[in-house]
Amino acid sequence: MPEFDRRDFLKLVGVGAGAAATACSDPIEKLVPYVEQPEAITPGIAVWYASTCAECPAACGLHVKTREGRPIKLEGNPDHPINRGKLCARGQASLGRTYLPDRYSEPRVKGAGGELEASTWEEATAEVAARLNAARGRTWILGESGGPTLDGVIDTFAAAADAKRVVYEPFAHEALRKGTEAVFGVASLPLFDPGKADLIIDLGSDFLSSGLSPTENARQYSDGRDVKTHKSGGTRMISFGARLNLTTTASDQWIPAKAGSEGAIAFALAQAVLQAKGAPEGADAGAVSRFLSGSSIASAASSAGIDTADLAAVADALVHAKNPLVLPPGVAYTGSSATSTVAAVMLANAMLGAVGNSLTVPPASAAPAPANLAELKALVQAMKAGEVEALLIHDSNPVYSLAGDLGFVDALQSVGTVVSFASLRDETAQAADFVLPDHSSMESWGDRAPRPGVRSLIQPTVRPLLDTRSLGDTLLELGRALGGEMPEGSFRNVLEQNWADVNWRDALGRGGVFTDVAIEPVAVTGDFQGLGYKPARFAGNGDFTLVAFPHHFLGDGRGAALPWLQEIPEPVTKLQWNSWVEMSFATADKLGVGFGDVVEVTTAAGTLESSVLPRGGIRDDTIAIPIGQGHSEGLYASMEGEGDHGGWIHGPMGAEGQPGVPRGANVMAALPASEDEAGGRVWLGSQAAVQKTGRFRRLALSQWTDNQRERGLAKTASLAQLAGHGDDHHGGHGHHDEPPHTFTAAYDADPDQPYRWGMVIDNDRCNGCSACVAACSIENNIPMVGETQAIQRRDMAWIRIEKYVGEGDLKGGAARRPVPNREKLGELDIRYIPMPCQQCGAAPCEAVCPTLATYHNKEGLNGMVYNRCAGTRYCANNCVYKVRRFNYFDYGNENFPGLLGLMLNPDVTVRQQGVMEKCSFCVQRIEGARQPAKDEGRDIRDGEVMTACQQACPTNAISFGNLRDAGSEVVAAADEPNRSYHLLQELNTRPAITYLAQVTRDENEGKH
């Protein structure tokens, strides 16, 4: 008998089992470990790099979290003086630009058929260089400032190519710059610190949303209003504006002034200040007085459609405040005399003593100032005249943002060669002859110098994923091909050269060089040439003033490419994924339209169609449309990405779901290209006619009512109550009985456990900005579901911000087409309440799950075992806070197309179709902190675990930690007996989240 030993037997068994396993199973996917492990990478351990956010000019510092060589999350750099560790939703989402499926994967050249065709860098650059060589003197470069080094390279290249450079930014704040220059003689954008003022008069700046540095200002503002440090309630703000915007909702008083009256109000207030305080030191009192003449409290009030007494009271409060600050109008209210308005505001600030205190004017930056509309018009003229042979467009999308009667799009036809450096597919790049795709900012080197004392570095955190080249390198090469004197080496070498004065490695490690620079005080020089009060001019003759306001997330339209920014509900209106026309209920009634009815808006420059959002928080004579939608290119920006799921289920999608179909309307195309007195672009200068079309297109509205029905969900506390004088704790009516059971959330964990995780959310600090929602989505691999699904309210957000107006009443709730309707003109009682899973101690969801897929863990968390979930959805029905989300489709696979899958956080399971999910208190972060603690034989320290929402929150509204640790920050934060409450406490679910009621800062309250 032949030998058949144990080894042979095992071999045969192994072969058999292997064959059986491979024969009938899913295709094998191999996990290949590193053959040579890169030095810096340990699989499973995140590596962090400091960088700078390139999403907006504020230039916040970043910490980029990378795993196995790819960036997966952006967080604020705590060392960075601007954002101090925090990051807004736009910054968070900008990470996606690296992974979006509609990035150009290689250079493209327009072929004979007029379509862009793939090419190689050698061919494309050679061809472009040849064309530029032929177009010397007739080449123009158009695009945003890209930081000192890149700007230097662009300028050198421009010299080499004999080209003219136009720095272009849609929101260039020309009026702010010119107005500041008129008063102080310094052409720069002033820096505000709202926290240093005790009274802010906001003339529509919307600084918390579309201001110059929203993350920073939000922090300053909420610090200035912290009721723990300021017993009086801190900074007060009075806001003017025709519609309720994000900043208005954070104010203490809203005066619904007519759009276009900002100038009159600014001049009237400045005049009142002049009378009370006298002309600023060193200024020509006569010139100041002459400049400020023309408006008065009475005439301003009448042109603003408000009560004279109200405006007089504001002026009175302003001159009596210790430390007041007046904020000039923002983009939405940049009217025909915007520069004069800003000058009046700056003058008032100077007289009030705000300058050098809550307002500083930095010296003019070395960076080229963005072109104003007059300069852009000159470019368009040149293009039309055939004087532009080659146009190089970088970091901007003028075909989208300069659409309309400026004629840029038409003029582009007359340009011989259009070269785009766009990384993502957009309208401009698609209209170009050559696309030389740039890296994303996660792949590039770069720097920013947003203000004196802040030099911030951008460093690549991933190898380029596609066949792209950084703009700097492309320009260096083209410049050399043109025979220009370009700097040696790559763009990185140039950058290092520019940073040679500092320790490069240290700067890279910290994210830049940050020094305290005392900004030289400025004096009022007062050159008011050509400025002065003039009533606002409006083009067109419709019945309504058209306010085009920057969308909180989409900004000037660049955010539209990012699905997170599309899907996270706009904080004030709670709308997702599309554009809308805001009008008052009275106006809607008059036009015979309701929520979702499509109207046609006609201005002097064009028409657009969009669905109506009737709301209380807008004047009857005004309609408002967000800027940012209406892209016809891009997977998420246009309707291209829609319609994947069951078109026949949701009715015919018509033209939707196809490339080239715009998502919503581009309001910029309907704005006349008019200039203010200093040549800046006017955003508020159009009357519009509105006509019913008879069609209906439902908008994705994430919250159908802002009526909390006296349920005390979002409570308030008055200052008197905080001081302990109030009889009614939380301002709620009907729900301020003693709770049925008092409890200590810390007990809701196993007695032998050292931890019970808990959270405190301070509704008074929350301004609704939704940075937490973006952070949560990216940290936890939450899919964005798209408009079709969002209309069906299937968004997957684990944390949402609910907005309520007042205590509510028992009316409403019966309509099938619901719309939030409790806002009232001139009234403010807006309450935001962030709503993550409450991690109840006695959770209704746990008891009803038949499979124990959701269960109570030893540390008090409501765990969710995705693998065990069969999808009965009973838990979601029984969740009283409605924080559970269900995977109706295979979102986990389908909604991360292309490279987006690389952005997923490997520490968090991607959920399968048919399972339930919800906030986990970032349990992966808790576990991440547990291991090192275990290694060191200690407990997790306070502050070692930060949830993603807490980490991102610009105003530090969220505290998280161990409730069993008496010394922890979260326990300290909860210790506010006069305004802490648990949501729906009467149900005895024993939530681990303690809310701190919003504070109403009305001095008269509580005295009645």
Partner 1 sequence: MAPPATAVADRLASPDRPRDSRANIDIMAPTKGVQWPYFLALGAAVLGVLQAFIVLLYQTYVGLGVAGYQQPVFWGVYIVTFVFWIGIGHAGTLISAILFLFRAKWRNAVNRGAEALTVFAVITAALFPILHLGRIWKLYFLIPYPNQRELWVNFKSPLLWDVFAISTYASISIVFFYIGLIPDIAIARDRATGVKKVLYTILALGWQGTGPQWKAHSRSVLHLSGLATPLVLSVHSVVSWDFAMSIVPGWHATIFAPYFVAGAVFGGFAMVVNILIPVRRIFRLERYLTDYHFENMSRFILFTSTICGYAYAAEYFIAWYSGVEFEQSSFWLRAFGPYWISTWCMITFNVIFPQLLWIKKLRTNLPFLMGLCFFINLGMWFERYVIIITSLSREYISGSWGLYVISPVELSVLAGSFCWFSMWFLLFLKVFPVIAITEVKELEIHARDHGGAH
Nearer to partner 1, 386 or 646 (CB): 646
From start to end of 820-942, where are the E strands?
Answer: 830-835, 854-856, 862-864, 885-886, 916-917
Q: How far is the CB of 647 from partner 1 (least distance, A)?
A: 11
Nearer to partner 1, 708 or 980 (CB): 708
First and final CA of the chain: distance in angstroms?
A: 107
Token pair belonging to 664: 């919503």
Nearer to partner 1, 219 or 911 (CB): 911
Q: Strand pairing of 993-996 and 980-981?
A: antiparallel
Q: How far is the CB of 167 from partner 1 (least distance, A)?
A: 44
- Residue 839 has phi, psi (to 5 degrees) of 45, 55
Nearer to partner 1, 390 or 883 (CB): 883
Nearer to partner 1, 651 or 937 (CB): 651
Report the 10 Å Cβ neighbour count for 120.
Answer: 12
Report the 10 Å Cβ neighbour count for 748.
Answer: 22
Binding residues for partner 1, rule: CB under 8 A, are 645-646, 648-649, 703-711, 713, 734, 789, 792-795, 802-804, 808, 810, 813-816, 818, 835, 844, 847-853, 868-874, 876-878, 880-882, 885-890, 912-916, 984, 987
Nearer to partner 1, 67 or 800 (CB): 800
Residues 6+ apart with CB under 8 A from 338: 174, 175, 179, 263, 329, 676, 680, 682
What are the beta bridge partners of residue 851?
none
Q: Tokens 């989409």 map to which residue? A: 554
Q: How far is the CB of 843 from partner 1 (least distance, A)?
A: 10
* DSSP states of 152-176: HHHHHHHHHTTEEEEE--SS--HHH
Q: How far is the CB of 856 from partner 1 (least distance, A)?
A: 11
Counting beta carbons within 10 angstroms of the beta carbon of residue 734, is it exposed (0 to 12), middle (13 to 18) or buried (19 or more)?
exposed
From start to end of 861-1006, where are the E strands?
Answer: 862-864, 885-886, 916-917, 958-962, 980-981, 993-996, 998-1000
Rounded distance between C-alpha atoms, residue 609 and residue 156, angstroms:
44
* DSSP states of 284-301: -HHHHHHHHTT--HHHHH
Q: How far is the CB of 469 from partner 1 (least distance, A)?
A: 41
Alpha helices in 812-947 (DSSP H): 844-848, 874-878, 891-894, 923-935
Q: How far is the CB of 552 from partner 1 (least distance, A)?
A: 18
Q: How far is the CB of 711 from partner 1 (least distance, A)?
A: 7
Nearer to partner 1, 472 or 617 (CB): 617
Rounded distance between C-alpha atoms, residue 378 and residue 373, angstroms:
9
Alpha helices in 522-570 (DSSP H): 563-567
Q: How far is the CB of 207 from partner 1 (least distance, A)?
A: 26
Nearer to partner 1, 27 or 850 (CB): 850
Token pair belonging to 428: 């401009």
Q: How far is the CB of 904 from partner 1 (least distance, A)?
A: 20
Q: How far is the CB of 911 from partner 1 (least distance, A)?
A: 10
Nearer to partner 1, 492 or 868 (CB): 868
Report the 10 Å Cβ neighbour count for 941.
Answer: 15
Nearer to partner 1, 19 or 649 (CB): 649
Nearer to partner 1, 89 or 713 (CB): 713
Nearer to partner 1, 576 or 705 (CB): 705
Q: In 3D, which of 334, 379, 377, 342 has the Cα closest to residue 359?
A: 342
Q: Which helix (H) or strand (E) element contains residue 597?
A: strand 597-603
Q: How far is the CB of 271 from partner 1 (least distance, A)?
A: 44
Q: How far is the CB of 741 from partner 1 (least distance, A)?
A: 15
